Structure 1
Amino acid sequence: MPTRLRNGLSAALIALACLLAPFGTLAAWAYGLADTGRYVTTMAPLAADPAVREAVADSVGTGIMQQIPELDAGPLRATVAPFVHDAVRSFTRTEAFRTAWDSGNRALHDAVLHALHQDDLRPVTVDLAPVTAQVKRQLTDDHMPLAQRIPVEHTAVAVLPARELAHFRKGFHVLEVAGFWLPLTAAALAVAGIAVAACRRRAVTATALGTALGGAFLCLALAIGRRLTLADLPEEVHRQAAGAVYDALTATLRTVSLLLVALGLTVALTCWLTGLLLRRRRASAAPAPDPQPQPTRARA
């Protein structure tokens, strides 16, 4: 095969591999979240995050106040509301809340997976009754007025609307395929591009730089995605909580992106230094040119 054709084919294969690498990494990360145990482990530290606890206390406290008809109007609402919110806030600092947080996330994840694998169009919901029961018990122990009137009902809070299930189900099925095949295809294309190159060191350097560029692209995409995700949340408390959740879910992807950048730059620098050293060795090992004989002058 001619050298120019080999170099052209190598460049095309390496460019395609570097293009698929960040998308393969993103697909593998997204599909990895389908593992319930990994998801629960990822979300568990958020139970101690102040912004998340404050958002939970605000949502649950408001929900409890709305469930007591006697507090719909009048000065009693303004009197009881701070105690209810303080009770919920106090509950979020207990071990029982962390247990309920893990159990709730596990149940939510199982419900989402079940909905994605089934064909029914029922919305995915989460039940807040266990949290409400804990808060009611604490308010009752504190002799709070109307605490016994708080209804502990199995309230289904919609997490994934039914109208969006079809789109999420299609995307999940794509991730099932892409999460495995995209990274494998990117690796195979990179190996093939390096193998057919006329200068393999240069091909390895190009692959490494392309990989580093893909990792940098992922880091930039994560930063833009975070900004866009939080831009639609008007309340500061919920914005901070959503930011904490976003950071927890994308921590692995962010680490892999930085690893791609570091690994790509390291390999590229190693190839450059190795090539420089080999050129110097060849230059020093080359025999010195023979001196040109000096022409002799004829005697007069």
Structure 2
Amino acid sequence: MNTQDEEILRLRAQVARLQEEQDSGQDAEPAKRKGSAALVARWTAAVVLIVLTGVLVLSAVPAMYLRAQLLDTERYVETVAPLAADPAIQSEIADKVTNQVTAAVDVEGITRDALAELTQSTPRVAPVLAGLAPAIANQFESLVHTAVTNFVATPQFHDLWIQVNRAAHQGLVNLAEGKNDGIARIDDSGAVTISTKEIISRVKERLIEQGVGIAARIPEVDSHITLFQSPELVRAAQAINVLDRLAPWLVGLSIVAALGAIAVTPRGGRRRTTIWVGLSIAIAMALLALALAIGRGVYLNAVPPEVVSAAAAQSLIDTLIVPLKTTLRLVFVVGLLVAIVAFIGGQSRAAKQLRQGVAKAGDFLSGKLGGGPAKPWQLALARFRRILEASILGIAVLVLIFWEDPTAAVAIWTAIIAGLLILLVELLCRPANVPQESP
């Protein structure tokens, strides 16, 4: 075969190879595009689930508050029981009960009639006694107010307060269920009231014992005092009932959405997704706290002062929302803790610098200063440190969930202790993670 034939064969082989490469490239391009599209789809799904997690948590926390607090009689009574000793509440009850008693007994009219009868035989005395009726009425009002004020400071009133608020809570439950009966009731304006019948009866007995004879004329009065009032309460009755039933589902869906966001994320980005899941929960709680503050201000501005005094309304609403504020703080700390732990274990420059700083501190504290053989237990600890750190985080979350009546201080100290324990694990296994220099 001459040189020309060899050149032709070589060129043909080169053309065939180029054609083969072109064909393989054309085949790979759709696969590449398909892989890229799948990657985008997974990230999109992750972002949607992260946002959904925040939205679900934002709904789940108030729903669980309604279910466990406002719609649970024992928890509700336990929450409002301290209000029996609140000066604003005591003053409100003293003023309202005094007005109800004096309205039920026309002391001035009774006194005027009695004085007129007394002065029939002594007409000259009549002008002198004419001004006594208003003074006696004012004195009676003062006596009633003093008697009520003294009564609301007794243990008997505390017991009575629990009793009437237990009934008031039943009014809330009835509202959610579409009923309206009992000594506690809710009218069309959304006013939740408690009966003062028993309070007036006790005050009447005290006045009679003190020798205030006219107190015997106090009739059996079945009046009510407004605890709080909001027209939205009536309109929200159905929503309250729905949230009560959906509360466990919202919690479950929040967990599923969070885990789903991490699961659908491409393998290299799951730690980043975990960070954003934690941040979405924390952001949701920050928004809930903001909405709670705004709603509290709107409510206090909308309550008519003639219905409930500003001080009493503020004491009551602040007491009722304490469990909700505590819960959102706990959930906020949990979300932030998840984000921080995931961030520290990530590959970002800031995370690496933080770990390097911790590593240097560990080397210094352990006396290794970058060298020294690791002990067997340190090698074992290093091998399982991620599982151990995840367990510490899980225990911290469980502590916050199952702690009875946790406070913000409990949440903060739980987060601090969990962080210190994780740091301790990193420091103890540090020698096993440091590359040893060759001798």
- What TM-score do the two structures reach when normalised by structure 2? 0.59
CA change 1:274–1:53 in 2 (3 A) is same
CA change 1:38–1:120 in 2 (3 A) is closer
Find the counterpart in structure 1 of residue 326 from structure 2: 255
Find the counterpart in structure 1 of residue 427 from structure 2: none
User: What's the secondary structure of 2:107's corresponding residue?
Assistant: helix
1:121 and 1:165 in contact (8 A); partners too: no
Find the counterpart in structure 1 of residue 299 from structure 2: 229
The one-letter amino acid of 2:71's match is A
Return the alpha-carbon distance in structure 2 between the equivalents of residues 244 and 156 of structure 1: 19
Does 1:208 pair with 2:278?
yes
Does 1:243 pair with 2:314?
yes
Find the counterpart in structure 2 of residue 24 from structure 1: 60
Does 1:186 pair with 2:254?
yes
Structure 1 residues 169-178 or 29-38, which shifts more? 169-178
User: What's the secondary structure of 1:151's corresponding residue?
Assistant: coil
CA change 1:247–1:133 in 2 (3 A) is same
After superposition, the CA RMSD in angstroms is 2.9
Unmatched runs of 5 consecutive residues or more in structure 1:
286-300
Does 1:89 pair with 2:149?
yes
Of residues 51, 55, 58 in structure 1, which corresponds to 2:95?
58
Return the alpha-carbon distance in structure 1 between the equivalents of residues 41 and 54 of structure 2: 20
Find the counterpart in structure 1 of residue 335 from structure 2: 264
TM superposition shift of 1:128: 1.6
Find the counterpart in structure 2 of residue 148 from structure 1: 216
TM superposition shift of 1:274: 1.2
The one-letter amino acid of 1:204's match is T
TM superposition shift of 1:110: 2.0
Find the counterpart in structure 2 of residue 130 from structure 1: 198
Max Rg structure: 2
2:50 and 2:261 in contact (8 A); partners too: yes
Return the alpha-carbon distance in structure 1 between the equivalents of residues 258 and 226 of structure 2: 44
TM superposition shift of 1:116: 3.5
Return the alpha-carbon distance in structure 2 between the equivalents of residues 116 and 268 of structure 1: 38
TM superposition shift of 1:31: 2.2
Unmatched runs of 5 consecutive residues or more in structure 2:
1-34, 110-132, 187-192, 360-433
Find the counterpart in structure 2 of residue 8 from structure 1: 44
1:46-94 CA deviation, whole Å, 9 max, x = no partner? 1011111111111111111111023468332222212211110110000
Return the alpha-carbon distance in structure 1 between the equivalents of residues 99 and 180 of structure 2: 32
CA change 1:265–1:116 in 2 (3 A) is closer
TM superposition shift of 1:183: 2.0
2:174 and 2:180 in contact (8 A); partners too: no
The one-letter amino acid of 1:89's match is T
CA change 1:56–1:46 in 2 (3 A) is same
TM superposition shift of 1:223: 1.2
TM superposition shift of 1:190: 1.1
2:73 and 2:166 in contact (8 A); partners too: yes
Find the counterpart in structure 1 of residue 241 from structure 2: 173
1:180-228 CA deviation, whole Å, 9 max, x = no partner? 2222212211110111112110011001111111111111112112211
Does 1:195 pair with 2:263?
yes
2:66 and 2:244 in contact (8 A); partners too: no
User: What's the secondary structure of 1:146's corresponding residue?
Assistant: helix
CA change 1:250–1:150 in 2 (3 A) is same
CA change 1:157–1:79 in 2 (3 A) is closer
1:278-300 CA deviation, whole Å, 9 max, x = no partner? 9979xx97xxxxxxxxxxxxxxx
CA change 1:136–1:156 in 2 (3 A) is same
2:42 and 2:264 in contact (8 A); partners too: yes
Return the alpha-carbon distance in structure 2 between the equivalents of residues 29 and 258 of structure 1: 13
CA change 1:160–1:263 in 2 (3 A) is closer
Structure 1 residues 32-41 or 143-152, which shifts more? 143-152
Find the counterpart in structure 1 of residue 126 from structure 2: none
- What TM-score do the two structures reach when normalised by structure 1? 0.84
The number of equivalent residue pairs is 282
CA change 1:171–1:84 in 2 (3 A) is same
Find the counterpart in structure 2 of residue 113 from structure 1: 173
Return the alpha-carbon distance in structure 2 between the equivalents of residues 255 and 112 of structure 1: 22
